[in-house]
Chains A and B, each alone.
Chain A
Amino acid sequence: MKAELGLLMLIGAAFAVAPAFGESAGVADAIKARHGHFHDMGSDFKAAGDQLKSAAPDLNVVKASAAKVKDAAAQLPSWFPPGTGPESGLKTRAKAEIWKDPQGFSAAAHSFQVATVKLAALTQSSTDLGAIRAQFKATGEACGACHDKYRVPKD
């Protein structure tokens, strides 16, 4: 009787754990995809920044990069499905605060989105280098504002 109960519990436990195993593959993929998205956003940001650093920037490059950053930013909140934080045990710099403080995280993501929309719009409509450079800087600061709170600093 005791043995049977033990076996039943074992089977029950196996069923309870099984979905978690199935999920962990999804979690790993989600984290990997997130890193890919941020990598691409960094690359686009650099492409725009490289131009804006120079005396005679190619504004078409800036415009294209700003549009890509804006599109990516719109998707950004969806890159953080529940379970993809530090509790996953996988390599991620995402802090648990993202899910503990969803309103704060949404607000930070939103202000970043607003900044990227402004930057993209400005590069479409204007060739005023001073204004574009200022908005580029503001967008970078909006990235940083979120990272300060919701990303683990590098050692």
Chain B
Amino acid sequence: MFPRTEAAPTAEGDGRSLIWDWPTRLIHWLFVLLIAAAYATEKTRHIDWHRWCGYALLALLVFRLYWGVFGFSPSRFSSFVRGPRATLAYLRCLPDRTAAATPGHNPLGALSVIVLLALMLIEVGLGLFTVDVDGIESGPLSDWVSFDVGRACAEAHHFLFYVLLALIVLHLAAIAFYAVYKRENLIGPMLHGKKPVDIAYPPLKFALPRLIGGVVLSVAVTVLVMRAFKI
């Protein structure tokens, strides 16, 4: 089940070690697909499919938060979230044309991860309360709010998408900057998980039970939300 996570990084034999385990990578690329799908289904007014995109994103976000606490160590928030001092120090050496010393997220990248995850959570959260202009289509929790509040959520949901899009553009620009200026490939590790770094992360213990626990948790939360907490 966990070939990459369980493999001892030194056993790769090519001086590369695993930094992004497959659940982290899978979630990342599903975010990409689902955000695109959510946009496309809204624009073509397939609102049922749009809702499903939102539910899938919610489940993935719950799983990613869980994995940020109980998952493989480079994916844990405690391993990459840094204070303002470390972030400033990193900013100062940003013009250096050398690869970052941090194997996982650098302090600035960590900030980007936090902001992107928070924005996605708020965006999905707003969608739950959204009501369309005709009062016909709505999110699963829209009966908790008035028509006017539901409409305000819809406006915010609409606006915030473009904020999210702007941050995604920044994310891509940063990847291009690292590739061109710092000669560091960030896309490869997000595909195969490995990076040529010295540090070897200990394999995740009880990986399968942890994974199952996360899947059960995220599905349960999503189903509860879909049913407006009425079982």
Contact = CB atoms under 8 A, between A and B. Distances in A.
Chain A bound to chain B: yes
Interface of A: 38-39, 41-47, 49-50, 53-55, 140, 143-144, 147, 154
Contacts of B134: 38, 41-42, 45, 140, 143-144, 147
Contacts of A50: 138, 142-143
Given A42-B147, A43-B147, A54-B143, A49 B230 contact: no
B135 A46 contact: yes
Contacts of B36: none
Contacts of A41: 134-135
A45 B138 CA distance: 11
Given A46-B131, A46-B150, A53 B143 contact: yes
B132 to A, nearest CB: 8
B133 interface: yes
B138 A46 contact: yes
Interface residues of B, number: 15
Nearest to A139: B136
8 contacts: A43-B135, A43-B146, A47-B147, A49-B135, A49-B136, A49-B138, A50-B138, A54-B143
Given A54-B230, A55-B230, A46 B133 contact: no
A42 B133 contact: yes
Interface of B: 131, 133-136, 138, 142-143, 146-148, 150-151, 228, 230
A22 B136 CA distance: 37
Given A43-B135, A140-B136, 7 more contacts: A41-B135, A42-B131, A45-B134, A46-B135, A46-B147, A47-B135, A143-B136
A144 B47 CA distance: 13
A144 B134 CA distance: 9
A45 B135 contact: yes
Contacts of B135: 41-47, 49
Contacts of B148: 43
A41 B135 CA distance: 8
A53 B144 CA distance: 12
Contacts of B138: 46, 49-50
Most buried by A among B134, B138, B146, B148: B134
A34 B136 CA distance: 18
A45 B148 CA distance: 13
Contacts of A55: 230
A128 B134 CA distance: 25
Contacts of A42: 131, 133-135, 147, 151
Contacts of B147: 39, 42-43, 46-47
A3 to B, nearest CB: 55
A42 B150 CA distance: 11
Contacts of B228: 53-54
Nearest to B230: A55
Contacts of B143: 50, 53-54
Most buried by B among A45, A54, A144: A45
A38 B148 CA distance: 13
B136 A45 contact: yes
